[in-house]
Structure 1
């Protein structure tokens, strides 16, 4: 193992002893315990880190206590460093916290503190304040459980009021035993894969563990502290090694060095929406496959760009702070040739993108050099703001240094020689005829990826592989049994339910499939056979035509399929995301943002979209396509009935629960209904228009049928549906009545501009009395005027339209 890799791994595991200590297991003090901690009862977690490495000696190949670069010493001596390497990790541990050394040391003392085991992690969302939220109220905590969708929602603080030390210890023991069980499965195919696999496990089991529990607010997870410490230590080591100054690296020297050892590098896949939904041709063939493949491409391109960045500086995966939704943040050493290295990286990526995508999408990169003061809690937020501005500048000025790439000289010749242009993208020359349409090389590429993505469990990333992404870098799908024992390629496990020893990657690749003989059901009989695949079988993926039919419901009497064959198309994203990171942790006394809190906030926000949404779609909304979901946004297509219910429950209610009911963390959405034959590009554009409308009219809202409602209004309107359904349990209402209610709702909106529309109330009363005056539910219908039409006016079009579409025959 290279020395830099040892530094990274030791830093990643330096505080694993905090996890182990809280299990209450007996500590077997080594005879030389005073070499690891300054006094008998302070920083005992460092001795637990030592014990962890001792017990896992067979797993780590170089646990050698006599070697100054042994992992056991590098990881365990961060509170009493004895050489430059240990000092680097100790200093990185300090910088990760963003606190001054004296205060930081005070927070770590666990002597005679009996309740440290009962402390639970505070959600970072509860700390965010822009205008409305009272961050001083502590109402929520996280459960001590593994990082799976069922566990990532915070619980009310009252759940933990009766948490005893015994119960807390049992929870830690269970979590630790599960961690060790999975830890022993890790496969050592290469250091990068080994490191990433450990990192995946640490996220799964330490995401919920507070890093510090004494004399502090426990609002940073152990996982985020460990990973950011590893990134800082790796950059520091590389910097001082390059400067030939490693021998000088004491804690005092590191703390007082005024140079700029670091460079923060950000990357951004610019033009994601245009890239994913750009289908300019007349054919809507393979739409779902190409959509999910392009979404996956964005993720893989970001992963590869991150990998290229890391390797440009001779680093390893420890240097990656975040990577999600087409963006990355890497912490690298500020070498003498940093500017040249980053310029060459930009050229490689930018020219590859320009050549492949005709300049329509770009991968922007920006960077800022930093001294150690940038990690201070007082300076980190302003520093990250400057970095964000640098990235915005880079996005506005795409880099293409090869002048020849500005003109695509052979473009027309290729189109001419191929006799036709692709019927799907309408941009590239035809390479073959498939299913009676002309298809280009790129669309074939995405079609094949879209097919494989829902079948295979592993991918490998490297040079010269089947599916090229950026230059020579690409990827291949791999069967579990075919994963090589040793490889320089990066391996990722895509299905995350069970850990097989490889790094985990959360990919939203769920697609609706046929069960049993479902395709033979009567609701699909009206579909034109020429639009459907032949010889369908169990497990085949449903087309958008089938999905639209899944909006139909079977009546209890007569067994008739009723409803409208519409797709629901949903786009949603978090409001004011940049502002949340810039100002959300700002207080009168200063800013609370540190690199650990930055990573914690970014990761937990992504988890709702990349972990919870795919899970809940699979469990509760089985006919919805997850086109993409991750970072801070999502795009879903499904039966309009399921999409409508999804919006109500998961966006309207669950997102609020996830962010601790924080009124300053909101989400806006655009929802449309569409026929399945409409090109996906047009669906996306219309859904985007609705989303923008929701943003323009105050945010924290949803737009649908050209009406915009805040979430409280939207959820309230479901009560209207419930009232109608209650009446219809007695007797079905005629469709004409629903259409009249639509008219009256529209008139109620218009009457303040034109008094003639005020007659809606009298007409409503007359029609209701004439049709239902003798019914026992007459008074309930009559109340609709005051309770719903008068209050919501034309906004009532949303539940009324859905009610009509559900009931059509």
Structure 2
């Protein structure tokens, strides 16, 4: 019988599942098994779930043998050595996927060793990650992967009981699958989903370097086995399989111009014309475009999303067979997506590059990636390579869209939008009510994104061939499904009601009186305008904008695993690093916005502080958050406190001193055009990185996070003193004037010290009001102290918190 690629992918995905059971039953004798090897447990697992596999059209006996016979080096256990071509395909895939460990392991896999974070092996700036491990079972009934789970602990009580809980969760998912009618592809993706939940926090190997999860190893093995089998056309001999050659094709897809595309809303102002809805919809479109391009290429070759081995933030990496069909599929995708981009004005530029490589090169996967990136750089030099003449890019002269300025408007009248921008408004209105994304060849429910290969809507339903869930939801589904938190967070009226403690009627009356409403419909589900977000700030009614980027991630992937004796950058490690980082930016960031109480213990909040953050953080608007960066909007005071908490959370998440966040914060009026806001943020983020990374640029200065956290206390003290009139606003502006006069300009050290007598003289007024306050502020005479060095930051922060009216923010003036 000829086996298809899905058969081999399933065998690859299952080949080491026996490790879970071997650890759960460590030291016990099971009379049903011939021995206690993980391979025996794998075969037993398949036979125990035989009916599930049989219903999907698989032969359980064949599957049990193919999945368990993958150890060529087990000379004294020939029953687990590969014999048939299918068994050799899985064995080779296992070898290619597990370059971080050596052949062996017949002695078993003891359960006491926890999974180490993928950051622990990184060597950056002369620093290495801290020791620690993940807890697969946590408080509140958590079992497996969930928000708040991927934080390493110094002491991890692992053992048989922990693995027993994971077995229970996995078997509960299998029972749910058994009630569904599943195709082979749906079964494969459902098993991957269940393994993601149960096996993401346990190591693939507990005897050598336990920093790659069992889930990441199984997923990559499945991808390699599928690609290898397709390369050979489904009927190879053992000799052909074992003979190495350029059988694999690594593909990178990259959308160029993402930020310009998202921010290009020409002629529009924030908070006007539904921009609060459209901005998030536009950001979502970019993410979905990259995902759809990848999914379309994979589907055209009969592959599944498991062969998308890396990716986030508008970029993806696919593992394909190096065949004529694969090359043709790439050429078709280049032209189809290029023409799609041109029809939309060319603000997004799809780039595809590929590199053929041999199986042995999995051992030097970092080198393969480096060579692939050179190919990508060449591809970017010639965008839209299918074009033969300039005339192909010309269109009829029509009125441009009033929002994007790139595509023709629907009507020849002022303010008219193009169909895409009209759809963005519809999609943005639906986002708060949706929790999934469906991919349709045809018949997608409106509104949908019409991409070249598939139509994408904010729901599943009849006709959907693939589904993304917006949360880490691992329940089985009859449709192939992945957990992909792409929809972000949009603050709604319901969040404002909770934050303000008012009724819908009172809030609506207030918003109408303030002139903040763009539309009257929607009730508590209506998305808040940027004007409303600014008005919900404490103190001056400004909109805050925050852009953060993970430092040194390019270095981490390129050279972070490199050692003098060998390169540790195996494909499994790089996949684990990419996936873990994506969990932080796509899941943890949004969870901190929606449910900050989850992190109260980790961040040391008391009940009052946790409740206050739970009322205020949901007012934050996520423009995008994924890959290794984010862009958020919201009430300015909320966003600054959120930034401090997020930075602390990231430090705990990575456990690596060299892995920091850098970014910029801008205070702006809600009518500031989005392109200008983006320009200011980009400039601020650049200033933070140029000052040494690990900083936030705000109020004109790049401040290290540790100093900024301490300065937050100065802000509260100043705010209290201003309220109690222990310090006047005029006094504070005098400090700011002295700082700018002597420290905001290029002066020598002696000239700068001239501020001290002038400041001491000014502080006499404070002494007349309150001696305690005077003593505290005399500390500003210490010119080396953070309070003086970063005085503009905490002083302006405190002044804006104490103000109730809007003045032009200083950054916008700069």
Task: Give the TM-score, by structure 2 length.
Answer: 0.86
SS of the residue 2:484 aligns to: coil
Residue 759 of structure 1 and its aligned partner are, at CA, apart by 3.9
Residue 385 of structure 1 and its aligned partner are, at CA, apart by 1.0
SS of the residue 2:645 aligns to: helix
2:698 corresponds in structure 1 to 704
Distance in structure 2 (CA, Å) of the matches to 1:675 and 1:730: 28
Identify which range, 795-804 or 742-751, moves more after superposition: 742-751
Within a 5 Å distance, the mapping from 1:210-249 to structure 2 comes to 210-214=203-207, 216-241=208-233, 244=235, 246-249=236-239
Residue 300 of structure 1 and its aligned partner are, at CA, apart by 1.4
- The answer to whether the 8 A contact 1:146-1:175 is kept is yes
1:153 corresponds in structure 2 to 151
1:560 corresponds in structure 2 to none
- The answer to whether the 8 A contact 2:542-2:669 is kept is yes
Q: In the alignment, does 2:161 pair up with 1:170? A: yes
- 1:402-457 deviation digits (Å, cap 9, x = unpaired): 33675444330xx1xxxx432212233321599x9322111012111222222123
Q: Residues 527 and 365 from structure 1, CA distance in 2 versus in 1: closer, same or farther, beyond 3 angstroms?
A: farther
Distance in structure 2 (CA, Å) of the matches to 1:614 and 1:315: 31
SS of the residue 1:541 aligns to: coil
- 1:166-213 deviation digits (Å, cap 9, x = unpaired): x62222222221222233334555443432232222112211110001
Residue 789 of structure 1 and its aligned partner are, at CA, apart by 7.5
SS of the residue 2:18 aligns to: helix
2:191 corresponds in structure 1 to 198
- 1:566-603 deviation digits (Å, cap 9, x = unpaired): 11101111123222111000111111011100100000
- The answer to whether the 8 A contact 1:433-1:439 is kept is no
Q: Residues 433 and 513 from structure 1, CA distance in 2 versus in 1: closer, same or farther, beyond 3 angstroms?
A: farther
SS of the residue 2:702 aligns to: strand
Q: Residues 313 and 184 from structure 1, CA distance in 2 versus in 1: closer, same or farther, beyond 3 angstroms?
A: same
SS of the residue 1:225 aligns to: helix
Distance in structure 2 (CA, Å) of the matches to 1:576 and 1:241: 41
- The answer to whether the 8 A contact 1:524-1:549 is kept is no
Within a 5 Å distance, the mapping from 1:644-659 to structure 2 comes to 644-651=640-647, 653-659=648-654
SS of the residue 1:444 aligns to: helix
Q: In the alignment, does 2:305 pair up with 1:317? A: yes
Distance in structure 1 (CA, Å) of the matches to 2:55 and 2:588: 39
- The answer to whether the 8 A contact 2:780-2:787 is kept is no
Structure 2: segments with no counterpart, 5+ residues: 72-79, 138-142, 498-502, 597-616, 805-814
Distance in structure 1 (CA, Å) of the matches to 2:19 and 2:97: 16
Residue 743 of structure 1 and its aligned partner are, at CA, apart by 1.7
- The answer to whether the 8 A contact 2:251-2:353 is kept is yes
Q: In the alignment, does 2:282 pair up with 1:285? A: no
- 1:96-147 deviation digits (Å, cap 9, x = unpaired): 0115xxx7223x2335x7xx21100011112111223135x63454544421
Q: In the alignment, does 2:85 pair up with 1:84? A: yes
Q: Residues 346 and 409 from structure 1, CA distance in 2 versus in 1: closer, same or farther, beyond 3 angstroms?
A: closer
Distance in structure 2 (CA, Å) of the matches to 1:751 and 1:683: 26
- The answer to whether the 8 A contact 2:276-2:527 is kept is no
- The answer to whether the 8 A contact 2:582-2:626 is kept is yes
Residue 706 of structure 1 and its aligned partner are, at CA, apart by 2.6
Alignment match of 2:452 (pick from 461, 467, 471): 471
- The answer to whether the 8 A contact 1:668-1:695 is kept is yes
Residue 462 of structure 1 and its aligned partner are, at CA, apart by 2.6
Q: Residues 10 and 337 from structure 1, CA distance in 2 versus in 1: closer, same or farther, beyond 3 angstroms?
A: closer
Residue 476 of structure 1 and its aligned partner are, at CA, apart by 2.4
- 1:444-501 deviation digits (Å, cap 9, x = unpaired): 121112222221233321323352432252112336xxx34xx561123234457353
Q: In the alignment, does 2:475 pair up with 1:499? A: yes
Q: Residues 528 and 433 from structure 1, CA distance in 2 versus in 1: closer, same or farther, beyond 3 angstroms?
A: farther
- The answer to whether the 8 A contact 1:352-1:470 is kept is yes
Q: In the alignment, does 2:21 pair up with 1:23? A: no
Alignment match of 1:410 (pick from 386, 389, 395): 395
2:384 corresponds in structure 1 to 399
Distance in structure 1 (CA, Å) of the matches to 2:60 and 2:746: 82
Distance in structure 1 (CA, Å) of the matches to 2:61 and 2:346: 48
- 1:2-58 deviation digits (Å, cap 9, x = unpaired): 621111112112111111222228664557x4xxxxxx45xx111222222222223
Alignment match of 1:670 (pick from 664, 669, 673): 664
Distance in structure 2 (CA, Å) of the matches to 1:524 and 1:389: 57
1:640 corresponds in structure 2 to 636
Distance in structure 1 (CA, Å) of the matches to 2:368 and 2:734: 59
- The answer to whether the 8 A contact 1:193-1:503 is kept is no
Distance in structure 2 (CA, Å) of the matches to 1:93 and 1:7: 12
Q: Residues 684 and 347 from structure 1, CA distance in 2 versus in 1: closer, same or farther, beyond 3 angstroms?
A: same
- The answer to whether the 8 A contact 1:128-1:585 is kept is yes
Distance in structure 1 (CA, Å) of the matches to 2:429 and 2:170: 34
1:263 corresponds in structure 2 to 249
2:362 corresponds in structure 1 to 375
Within a 5 Å distance, the mapping from 1:548-587 to structure 2 comes to 548-552=534-538, 563-587=539-563
Q: In the alignment, does 2:320 pair up with 1:332? A: yes
- The answer to whether the 8 A contact 2:277-2:527 is kept is no
Alignment match of 1:110 (pick from 100, 107, 110): 107
2:65 corresponds in structure 1 to 73
1:614 corresponds in structure 2 to 590
Within a 5 Å distance, the mapping from 1:526-565 to structure 2 comes to 528-529=514-515, 531-535=517-521, 537-552=523-538, 563-565=539-541
2:76 corresponds in structure 1 to none
1:7 corresponds in structure 2 to 8
Distance in structure 2 (CA, Å) of the matches to 1:143 and 1:15: 18
Q: Residues 282 and 493 from structure 1, CA distance in 2 versus in 1: closer, same or farther, beyond 3 angstroms?
A: closer
Distance in structure 2 (CA, Å) of the matches to 1:488 and 1:719: 53
Task: Give the TM-score, by structure 1 length.
Answer: 0.87
- The answer to whether the 8 A contact 1:748-1:794 is kept is no
Distance in structure 2 (CA, Å) of the matches to 1:594 and 1:646: 35
Alignment match of 2:44 (pick from 35, 51, 59): 51
Alignment match of 1:347 (pick from 316, 335, 348): 335
